[in-house]
Amino acid sequence: MGAGTTAHLLLHFWPSIEIQGWELDPTVISVGRKYFDLLQLERAHQDKLVVHIGDALEANIPGGFSGIVVDLFSEGVVIPELQRPSTWKCLKDRLRDGGRIMVNCGGRRVEAESPSRDGHMVMQETLGALAEVFPREVFVLRLGYDKEDSSIALTGPLPDLQAWKQSLPPCLRRYVNKWVPV
Summarised one tens digit per residue, pLDDT across range 115-138 is 666 677 888 889 999 999 999 999
Q: Do 9 and 76 share a domain, yes or no?
A: no
56 pLDDT band, cuts 50/70/90, is confident
Per the structure, how many domains does the chain have?
2
Find, among 95, 16, 114, the residue nearest to 122 by Cα: 114
Domain that holds residue 143: 62-176
**Is residue 39 located within the same domain as residue 95?**
no
The pLDDT value recorded for residue 53 is: 93
Same-domain pairing of 142 and 67:
yes
Task: Say what the pLDDT of residue 33 is.
Answer: 93
Residues 71 and 41 in one domain: no
What is the pTM assigned to this prediction? 0.84
Q: Is 160 among the domain residues?
A: yes
Q: Are residues 154 and 171 in the same domain?
A: yes
> How many residues comprise the chain?
182
Distance between the two ends of the chain, CA-based, in angstroms? 26
- 75 lies in the same domain as 35: no
Tell me, yes or no, whether 22 and 96 share the same domain: no
Q: Is 58 exposed, middle or buried (0-12, 13-18, 19+ CB in 10 A)?
A: exposed
Q: Does 181 map to a domain?
A: no
Contacts of 50 (CB under 8 A, 6+ apart): 18, 19, 20, 21
- Backbone φ, ψ for residue 117 (5° rounding): -105, 115
Residue 40 CA to residue 53 CA, distance in Å, equals 18
Is 95 in the same domain as 159?
A: yes
Same domain, 90 and 160: yes
49-53 and 19-23 beta bridge pairing: parallel
Domain edge (last residue) among 9, 28, 54? 54
